Amino acid sequence: MSDQDALTPRVFLVRHGETEWAKLGRCTGITEIELTPEGTTQVSSAAALLVGAGKLLDPSRLAHIFVSPRRRARRTFELLMGSPSPGVTDWEQRVTYTEDIAEWDYGDYEGLTDGEIRRLRTERGLDGEREWNIWRDGCEGGESMQQVSKRLDRLILQIREIHSRYMNGAKPVDVLLVAHGLVLRCFVKRWLGLSVDSPFNMMMAPGAVTVLSYKKNNISEPAIHIGIALPTSEESGKR
């Protein structure tokens, strides 16, 4: 990890582990569903490799954690972070469970696959001129692009307030988000100042970790790490 990376506040995005509906490609918004055994393993393996003192996601460097209140996200958070590290105080005060980072509300499309949604819409005479696109068109009975953007922008503002006073690295103020695949990809777009329906293709596997930050320690230049160096053993020893 470079000196620049060590100084600049970061945001870690973690998608919850695999569920049966995620495995089948079913839209899972408000439905409460458990992680599969494979999903539990995904998160536990990531935690062993990436979480801990001197590792990429160091609990002592976290100023705040935002977690979706859905059961699959809460369980992922528990598996990822485990018990607070020694020396980490006020742990419970650092965690907020918030609907701002809950999955997109799929409304009438809850539990359906992409193919099923398109067939349903075709049968109802919709999408004659252009194909349905959730990023642009939202979900009937659920959320629109504008509604999702509004709540994510509210959360981004909170995070920027946490980061703004310590952009020079005087105090570690990393932030962790534990949530869902679609809404986290929306979050990346809004973090970069892009519209949710911008053509920016992304993939995020269950249990995956994404890192956001800023260029040149400048809060006006939000950025995404398309690749990040892991801390060396030497750097780990210094912490």
Which pLDDT score, from 0 to 100, does residue 93 have? 82
Q: Decide if 114 is inside a domain.
A: no
Q: Is 119 annotated as a binding residue?
A: no
Question: What does the pLDDT average to over 184-204?
Answer: 95
Q: Is 207 annotated as a binding residue?
A: no
Question: What does the pLDDT average to over 178-186?
Answer: 97
Q: Decide if 86 is inside a domain.
A: yes
Q: pLDDT-based confidence at 239, cuts 50/70/90?
A: very low
Domain tally for the chain? 1
CA pair distance 158, 112, nearest whole angstrom: 33
Is residue 1 pLDDT above 50, yes or no?
no
Q: Decide if 70 is inside a domain.
A: yes
Q: What tens digit of pLDDT does each residue of 32-91 get? A: 999 999 999 999 999 999 999 889 999 999 999 999 999 999 999 999 998 655 555 566
Global pTM reads 0.91
Q: Is 20 annotated as a binding residue?
A: no
Which pLDDT score, from 0 to 100, does residue 224 have? 94
Q: Decide if 128 is inside a domain.
A: no
Q: Decide if 71 is inside a domain.
A: yes
Q: Which has the higher per-residue pLDDT, 8 or 227? A: 8
The CATH number of residue 209's host domain is 3.40.50.1240
Confirm if 33 and 21 have CB atoms less than 8 A apart.
yes
Q: Is 29 annotated as a binding residue?
A: yes
**Active site amino acids:** 16, 103
For residue 12, what are the domain limits?
3-105+143-238
Q: What tens digit of pLDDT does each residue of 6-44 get? A: 679 999 999 999 999 999 999 999 999 999 999 999 999
CA pair distance 208, 178, nearest whole angstrom: 10
CA pair distance 13, 27, nearest whole angstrom: 20
Determine whether 24 is exposed, middle or buried from the number of CB atoms within 10 Å of its CB (0-12, 13-18, 19+): exposed
Q: Decide if 211 is inside a domain.
A: yes
Question: What does the pLDDT average to over 178-197?
Answer: 97
CA pair distance 162, 145, nearest whole angstrom: 26
Q: What tens digit of pLDDT does each residue of 114-158 get? A: 999 999 999 999 988 899 999 999 999 999 999 999 999 999 999
